[in-house]
């Protein structure tokens, strides 16, 4: 196409003002408001300009496009007013899927959010005293109950005096919790960390970067695969303010390795009177949950051992809202609370409401209420039975649907070996590739996210809520009976 004729095409595009003055767009603007309609018109005209630039429109095609301009603007208005965040069906079997919003919330947490958020609350008001209060008291109270077992068996520090015990504060996420702890306890001074623990965790959380931002100085010891207690001992100088231990999370070092036991680090920390901070990451709050999960650290275990402060996420194994939690010696937690960074990293009432209700379920021992714990406990036979029911609902089809043994993943920074036995639905078709099947499942409402492995589509019902089974079966039935797409240009 000639440049000259492109100029003519551009010239034949109406102006935004011109369009808005005339029907049918004037009526549209009266109905939906001037601003959104103007935006939609700009978008539609912009897209036409791009198509002219790309040489995809001649005079005739442009004329056609302009005759359908009102419909295009209406379509654009609808698109623009649709919500972007949307519910999906997670059929990946990854329980804490970072891309799919990690932990689903308990019904009690949702109810409490609604109750607190739709009106006013005592977020920072002490009802007993009738005066200004603190927002962090609401969850500290429950954390004390959940972590009481650790306080009872923990040997107190000499300087704890009349304020012994374990306190907890909450910030925006675990990355923020680590930042706050490092800045409070070691600003301008050295923090000793094993080289084997300097890993990057889910979506660019890097200890050296967080350390730099906290103004603490990283002092690496040992090697990637082996670090001994002597390495820490030799590195301690009068500049050392903190010992840091980091859970390696979704990274495993196997073979010739050596990591210092928490007990040894606690002993060294106490001997030298330097606090020990442990970044647990997923931080299992439930007793016994960690041991079943192969190397997932438990909050209680670390505190019992005598770790001074632990940090962990609210939306990983705990099964609550996104949050970073700092639990530890009252005196150290008090210092973090008075750091101005705490104010910058604080969470809102929605988070406190969700977290409080989730913790209450722990206090009551009502673990079935917490989706993450419920999904983890689902027996393979139960998942297999539901998978069979889905197969029967699909009925006769041109899709091969097979039930096979497989593994669900904990995810969310848990070790890659933290898996649970499950029953998978494996889909294969002689007409559609695995990618095509997966793309069609994504196009459903709600979209269905599956795994694609070795030319098959794998669905794990562990992470699909039972009430979603019929929708999943219906989607599979439609995919099974659909024709391969004619490839459009
Ligand atoms: C997940 C994780 C983090 C980051 O936590 P967010 O809540 O995502 O900020 C930090 N450290 C460890 C060890 C983790 O597993």
pLDDT at 164: 61
pLDDT at 250: 64
Q: Could you report the per-residue pLDDT of 37-67, keeping only the tens digit for each?
A: 999 999 999 999 999 999 888 888 888 888 8
CB 285 within 8 A of CB 317: yes
Ligand 1 atom closest to the Cα of residue 413 is 15
Statement: residue 302 has pLDDT above 80 = yes
Which residue CA neighbors atom 3 of ligand 1 most closely? 281
The Å distance, Cα 197 to ligand 1 centre, comes to 13
pLDDT at 124: 97
- How does DSSP assign 57-99, residue by residue? --HHHHHHHHHTHHHHHHHHHHHHHS-S----EE-S-EEE-GG
Q: How many other CB atoms are there within 10 angstroms of residue 115's CB atom?
A: 12
If one residue of 199, 310, 313 were mutated to test the ligand 1 pocket, choosing by the most ligand atoms within 8 A of its CB, it would be 313
Ligand 1 atom closest to the Cα of residue 175 is 9
Task: State if residue 102 touches ligand 1 by the CB under 6 angstroms criterion.
Answer: no
Which residue CA neighbors atom 10 of ligand 1 most closely? 281
Secondary structure class of 85 (helix, strand, coil): coil
The Å distance, Cα 318 to ligand 1 centre, comes to 13
Task: State if residue 358 touches ligand 1 by the CB under 6 angstroms criterion.
Answer: no
The Å distance, Cα 143 to ligand 1 centre, comes to 19
Which residue CA neighbors atom 13 of ligand 1 most closely? 281
Statement: residue 368 has pLDDT above 50 = yes
Q: Could you report the per-residue pLDDT of 455-482, keeping only the tens digit for each?
A: 999 999 999 999 999 999 999 999 988 8
If one residue of 102, 249, 299, 416 were mutated to test the ligand 1 pocket, choosing by the most ligand atoms within 8 A of its CB, it would be 249
| CATH architecture assigned to 89-95+375-481 | Alpha-Beta Complex (3.90)
Task: Name 324's bridge partners.
Answer: 171, 313
Every domain range in the chain assigned CATH 3.40.640.10: 107-369
Q: Could you report the per-residue pLDDT of 101-153, keeping only the tens digit for each?
A: 999 999 999 999 999 999 999 999 999 999 999 999 999 999 999 998 766 66
Task: State if residue 201 touches ligand 1 by the CB under 6 angstroms criterion.
Answer: yes
Every domain range in the chain assigned CATH 3.90.1150.180: 89-95+375-481
pLDDT at 158: 53
CB 189 within 8 A of CB 342: no
Task: State if residue 311 touches ligand 1 by the CB under 6 angstroms criterion.
Answer: no
- Could you tell me the fold of the domain covering 107-369? 3.40.640
């Amino acid at each position: 196409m000639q440049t000259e004729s492109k100029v003519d095409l551009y010239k034949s595009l109406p102006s935004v003002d011109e369009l808005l003055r005339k029907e049918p767009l004037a009526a549209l603007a009266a109905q939906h408001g001037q601003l959104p309609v103007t935006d939609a018109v700009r978008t539609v005209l912009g897209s036409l300009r791009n198509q002219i630039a790309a040489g995809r429109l001649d005079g005739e095609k442009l004329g056609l496009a302009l005759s359908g301009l009102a419909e295009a603007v209406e379509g654009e208005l609808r698109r623009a007013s649709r919500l972007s965040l949307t519910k999906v069906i997670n059929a990946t079997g990854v329980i804490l899927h970072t891309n799919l919003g990690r932990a689903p919330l308990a019904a009690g947490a949702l109810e409490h959010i609604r109750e607190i958020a739709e009106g006013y609350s005592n977020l920072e008001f002490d009802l007993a005293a009738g005066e200004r209060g603190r927002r962090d008291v609401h969850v500290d109270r429950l954390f004390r109950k959940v972590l009481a077992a650790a306080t009872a068996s923990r040997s107190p520090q000499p300087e704890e005096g009349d304020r012994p015990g374990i306190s907890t504060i909450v910030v925006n996420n675990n990355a923020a919790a680590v930042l706050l702890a490092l800045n409070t306890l070691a600003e301008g001074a050295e923090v000793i960390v094993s080289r084997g623990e300097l890993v990057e965790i889910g979506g660019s959380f890097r200890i050296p970067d967080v350390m730099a931002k906290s103004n603490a100085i990283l002092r690496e010891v040992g090697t990637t695969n082996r670090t001994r207690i002597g390495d820490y001992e030799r590195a301690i100088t009068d500049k050392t303010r903190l010992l840091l231990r980091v859970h390696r999370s979704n990274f495993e070092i196997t073979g010739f390795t050596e990591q210092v036991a928490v007990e040894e680090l606690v002993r060294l920390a106490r001997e030298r009177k330097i606090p020990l901070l442990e970044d647990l990451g997923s931080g299992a709050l439930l007793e016994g949950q960690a041991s079943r999960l192969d190397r997932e650290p438990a909050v209680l275990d670390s505190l019992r051992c005598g770790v001074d402060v632990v940090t962990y996420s609210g939306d990983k194994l705990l099964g609550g809202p996104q949050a970073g939690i700092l639990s530890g010696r009252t005196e150290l937690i008090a210092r973090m609370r008075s750091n101005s960074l705490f104010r910058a990293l604080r969470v809102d009432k929605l988070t406190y409401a969700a977290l409080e209700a989730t913790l209450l379920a722990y206090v009551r021992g009502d673990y079935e209420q917490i989706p993450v714990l419920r999904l983890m406990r689902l027996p393979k036979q139960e998942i297999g039975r539901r998978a069979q029911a889905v197969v029967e609902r699909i009925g006769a089809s041109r899709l091969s649907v097979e039930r096979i043994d497989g593994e669900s993943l904990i995810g969310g920074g848990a070790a890659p070996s933290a898996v649970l036995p499950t029953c998978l639905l494996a889909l294969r078709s002689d007409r559609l590739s695995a990618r095509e099947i997966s793309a069609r499942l994504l196009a459903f409402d709600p979209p269905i996210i599956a795994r694609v492995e070795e030319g098959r589509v794998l669905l794990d019902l562990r992470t699909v809520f039972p009430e979603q089974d019929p929708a999943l079966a219906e989607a599979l039935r439609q995919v099974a009976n659909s024709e391969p797409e004619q490839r459009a240009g």
